[in-house]
Every structure is written in C-alpha cells, then in structure tokens.
Structure 1
Amino acid sequence: MAPNNSQSGGLTRLLMFVGILIGVFTPIVYLMERNLESFYVFKTDELHDLAKRGIEAHGNDTAKIVEYIVAELRENHPSHVNPKWNVPDEWVFNNAGGAMGGMYIIHASITEYLIIFGTAVGTEGHSGRHTADDYFHILTGEQWAYVPGEFLPEVYPAGSVHHLKRGVVKQYKMPEGCFALEYARGWIPPMLFFGFADGISSTLDVQTLYRTVVLTGREMISNLLIGKI
C-alpha cells in the first residue's frame, strides 16, 4: 500500500500546486484583460493611414513600401521597432495553418505583434482561431477569405484591411504575390503555438523554427526589459 499512498500524495501536491497557480494568475489575467488597451503602443487607424500612404507613394514597389512604413514607425516608436527590414537574416519562412510565406518582425511583445508577411508566389491556408484581433493591411496584391455558409469570397485589395476578430476562423488565400502589414493586439503568446505547429508536425524545418524562436524571443524580451508588456 505504501507505493500507492506515495503516488496519491504526489498527485495531491501536484493538484494543489496547479490550483495555487490558477488562483494566483486568474485575477492578474482578468485585470490585464480589462486594461489591455493601456498596454498597446500602436493604433489601428495609425497603421491603416501609414499603409495607405506607403502605397500612394510607391505603387506596387513592395520593398519601397516596406521601407517607407518601417522608417516612419521607427521615427514614431523608436524603442519598440526593429528597423532592420533590409537585413536578410531578419526574414524567415512562416508555415502556419498550411500557408507559407516570408515574415519580418517589426515588433513583438506580450500584447502586440507587428510584422510584414507575404509571398511572391501565392499561398492558402487556415487563419487559426486566435486570442488576439488580427489586422491584415494589404500592401500589394490581394487576399481572399472564405467563411462556411457563404458562397462568395471576401476580397481584400491593396489599401484595404482584413480584420479577423479574436476567436473567429476563416480560410484565406493569396492567389498570387501578396504582401501585408499584419498587426495583432491581444494575448500574443498563445498564438505562437499555431505559428510553430506546422514546423514541428509537418515541415520539420528545425533551422527556420530556431530562427523564428530567436527573433521572436529577442523582440519580446527587449520590450519587456523596457516595461512593454
């Protein structure tokens, strides 16, 4: 009977520890959830206006649009923006929900991320069901989206914003080349599981996974160190 009592005691202690963690963190998360807006650095209308001005200034020249956007963001938010858009090592593949494209992290923190995401050849996949609102500012090309029960696609051309609300899921497609300024605000860490799942379960691209973790961790930690949650 002793081994059984020992196992029972260990399980009891584990459950007590889990219960204490839940009891401690639940009110903290609840309070933060009610005050999420106060943690945000970027504004949705600011980003939409900036994306549109970049398109107006540079047409279909994606590189120039990205340069324009990052330069102004760096000027307005110097402590929170990674300006190295033209450094090849700052770009990585992103495989998520079956879709594949290139990604450059402008900002990553606990409550926000801002990236350039896109592809020159087209892609399609599952949007994921996320713990943050996602704003997809189309810079060049088009994005299409589909919701079950509808019979026509949602079409988002350059200059438009596809707002995927928190908890909502869609099928999406970039039929040809398409690049976007993607902004998410809410709880970012749970979204990382979706971002890493394909790399772990299908592509097995360890090098890309490693680079993604390093870049994301670097940006999140650097923001935490200056008090940005």
Structure 2
Amino acid sequence: MDLGTAKRPRIRSMSYQIDPNVLHRVAKQIAGLQLDGDELITRTVELLNGEYPDLVDAAPGRWVGSKAGGILGKVRFLHFSPREYLVIFGSPTGTQGFSGRYKHVDIHKFLIAGRIDSYDLESDDTAPLPPLLPGERTCLERGHARGLTIHPGSWHIEYGRGAVITTLPFAMVDTLLVSLEVESVRRSTVEFAKLVRRRLRR
C-alpha cells in the first residue's frame, strides 16, 4: 500500500439540497401549461413542493414587497438557509434596475412567465444579452452585475447558492433607507422567521 496516498486528506465537496436542473425542469413544465395569475404561482409552488417536500411548504405563502437596485416587485419566500434560498419574484406591471453584485453567491433565474431583458455592465459589447423567455434559465455568477428590464406580467423562480447572508444588505437597504418602506422589511422578517422555524423543526 502507498502510505503517502493513504495519509493524503480527502477533500469533501460542499453539497447543496436544491438542484438547479430540477428547478429548470419545473419552470419548463409551468411555461408549457401557459397559466395566468394565481394559478400560475399556485401550480409552481405545488411542483416545487413535490420535488422538495422537506424544504418547500405547499401552503400559500405571503407576498412581500421588495425593492433592490431600483427593481420593485413582489416576492414569495419558499426556502431560506445559510447557503441557499428559493423565492418566486415578479411584477404585474414591469420594473427595471440593477441586478446587484454578489461576491459570494450565484443567482439562478428560471422564467415561468413574461420576459426579462438584460445586459452585462462590464462587457465591451454594447448589445444586450439574449432575452430570457418562459421555460429558460440564466445565472448571474458571483462578482458579475447586470442591468435588467422585467416586462409586465413576468414571474420567475429565483435560487441563490453560496453565502446567502451576504445578499441581505442589498435586498433590505434600498427598501428601508431609500424607499422608507418599513412595513415590507417587517413582513420580510416575519417570513424569514417562519422559514427558519420550519427548518429547525425538521
């Protein structure tokens, strides 16, 4: 036996509970059904609960107002842990602004309705990125930033992977300090607390 090999420490890969490929499959299924309104969101949550019953509650959650980087919309929290989060985000009337720049988190988006246009802020290319259409996916890799236009009636599954806690200042500061919208921050805190309690009960 090679003692040098035997003594070499084993490197353990960090595992995650949610698979982006599963989320993409759900988004494609929802996009194919061409649902509208509450039925669109209800069916999406049902499918996500079917894939991750221990993480996503099938019961209707509460919508919370969110403004970050100028992007104003409605968010429903589905799962939150130190290394992953899962939400549904969208706007009935459309919105645009800054994606944020996350140095320790990758942000995956899976569109279930509408359209999202974007462009890379540092690219030498002045052309926009290909539009995100229902059933498609995109990923804002850590350290990158984009300008976004979310068209009216657009809704997507958003999955963050990494040091999730580092995203909270960007998500909260605009809502609290710029918009002075204390109630949205309060509601977000309540929803976070529910998810944490659910996680601790498992």
Fold similarity call, TM over 0.5: yes
2:145 pairs with one of 141, 145, 169? 169
Q: What do the CA deviations read for 1:125-181 (whole angstroms, capped 9, x no partner)?
A: 111111211111111111011113322212111111121111111111113321111
Give the aligned partner of residue 5 of structure 2: none
Q: Is 1:71 paired with 2:43?
A: no
CA separation in 1, counterparts of 2:125 and 2:17?
36
Q: Which runs of 5+ in 2 are unaligned?
A: 1-11
1:152 pairs with one of 124, 127, 132? 127
Corresponding letter in the other structure for 1:125:
G
Q: Any conservation in 2 of the 1:145–1:173 contact (CA below 8 Å)?
A: yes
State the secondary structure of the residue aligned to 2:87. strand
Q: Any conservation in 2 of the 1:62–1:179 contact (CA below 8 Å)?
A: no
Q: Any conservation in 2 of the 1:99–1:123 contact (CA below 8 Å)?
A: yes
CA separation in 1, counterparts of 2:162 and 2:47?
23
Corresponding letter in the other structure for 1:214:
V
Q: Is 1:42 paired with 2:15?
A: no
Corresponding letter in the other structure for 1:175:
H
Instruction: Give the TM-score normalised by structure 2.
Output: 0.86
TM superposition shift of 1:217: 2.7
CA separation in 2, counterparts of 1:51 and 1:111?
22
2:97 pairs with one of 113, 125, 128? 125
Q: What do the CA deviations read for 1:188-218 (whole angstroms, capped 9, x no partner)?
A: 1110111101122111111111110111132
Q: Which has the higher contact order (CA 8 A, sep 6+)?
A: 2
CA separation in 2, counterparts of 1:220 and 1:124?
30
Q: Any conservation in 2 of the 1:116–1:180 contact (CA below 8 Å)?
A: yes
Write the mapping of 1:4-15 to structure 2, written as runs, cut at 5 A.
Answer: none
User: Which stretches of structure 1, 4 residues or more, deviate above 6 A after TM superposition?
Assistant: none
State the secondary structure of the residue aligned to 1:156. coil
Q: Any conservation in 2 of the 1:82–1:105 contact (CA below 8 Å)?
A: no
CA separation in 1, counterparts of 2:24 and 2:172?
28
Corresponding letter in the other structure for 2:83:
T
Give the aligned partner of residue 100 of structure 1: 72
CA separation in 1, counterparts of 2:32 and 2:43?
11
The percentage of counterpart residues that share the same residue type is 28
1:139–1:97 CA distance, 2 compared to 1 (3 A): same
TM-align CA RMSD: 1.7
Instruction: Give the TM-score normalised by structure 1.
Output: 0.76
Give the aligned partner of residue 190 of structure 1: 166
Q: Is 1:135 paired with 2:108?
A: yes
Rg larger for: 1
Q: Any conservation in 1 of the 2:76–2:87 contact (CA below 8 Å)?
A: yes
CA separation in 2, counterparts of 1:151 and 1:202?
30
Q: Tell me the matched-pair count.
A: 187
In terms of fraction of residues, the more helix-rich structure is 1
Q: Which piece of structure 1 moves more, 143-152 or 215-224?
A: 215-224
Q: Which runs of 5+ in 1 are unaligned?
A: 1-33
State the secondary structure of the residue aligned to 2:144. coil
